[in-house]
Amino acid sequence: MRAAWIEPPVDANGRTILFCHGGGFQVGSIRSHLGLMRRLADAAVSRVLAIEYRLAPEHKYPAAIEDAFAAYRWLLEQGQPASRIALAGDSAGAALAIQVALRAHDERLAVPACAALISPWLDLTMRGASYDSRAAVDIFSKPERLAAMARAYLGRNQIATASIASPVEADLSGLPPILVHAGDDDITLDDSFLFADRARRHGVDVRVRVWKGMFHHFQMFSDLHESGESLIELGKFIMERAPGTIEAQE
């Protein structure tokens, strides 16, 4: 698949973020998310591996998951320690990030050090009340659009409650520490709460921060003060959980 390295302005100390872009499994690319990934690379002092996984409707589920996991396995094969790999993604990309960690655990590979999720879309059934209560205030995403994307991604022969389609339905044991940032006006907000509740039952360390007045993946917009604050906090989390070579020695 097409991929790119995004380097921070200073030495990343051996730390890598595997970033899965959002776009409802149908749109998005390295180009569309380049600004976000550059700012995350800077905030986390990490190099970012950006990938362009196969998109629906031409490539239905689980093609995107297979591609994202292939990228993670490639990093391990290159000698990158899992303890210095962080997963990250926004919206649908956040779901792919979680699926990578789950599959690594299932296949008895080393699990990445942590995952940073931005406005995660983790429940393709869209059962949360926020899909209705935030529909009028989320200026970026609308429920009907996400529902159409879910249908295109799943195809006719799959169901949204399948654990590989909606991570909230999976056995979440074995996941690394996770930090979730979502907006209070985000239609997918309740996915974050449902996922965190279920993951904690499996002993997973999950923290959720909700940003007042913010919409679905507001971090895409660099001119927002909240966007910068969010990325700084996500970057700090990644540096703490996936220490680089120099930091680990300290």
109-177-101-218 Cα dihedral, nearest 10 degrees:
-150
* Residue 90 annotated among the catalytic residues of the structure: no
Cβ 223 vs Cβ 235: under 8 Å: no
55 HSE (CA, 13 A, CB side): 17
Determine whether 224 is exposed, middle or buried from the number of CB atoms within 10 Å of its CB (0-12, 13-18, 19+): middle
Rounded to whole angstroms, the Cα distance separating 135 from 28 reads 22
Tokens of 129: 């009340």
Catalytic residue among 186, 216, 217, 227: 216
Q: Distances in Å between the alpha carbon of 1 and those of 19, 60, 137, 214?
A: 14, 16, 36, 33
Catalytic residue among 185, 186, 190, 191: 185
Cβ 80 vs Cβ 10: under 8 Å: no
* Residue 119 annotated among the catalytic residues of the structure: no
Q: Distances in Å between the alpha carbon of 48 and those of 12, 19, 34, 132?
A: 10, 7, 10, 35
- The answer for residues whose C-beta is within 8 angstroms of residue 67's C-beta and 6 or more apart is 1, 51, 53, 54
Catalytic residue among 91, 141, 166, 192: 91
* Residue 205 annotated among the catalytic residues of the structure: no
Cβ 54 vs Cβ 1: under 8 Å: yes
Active site members: 91, 185, 216
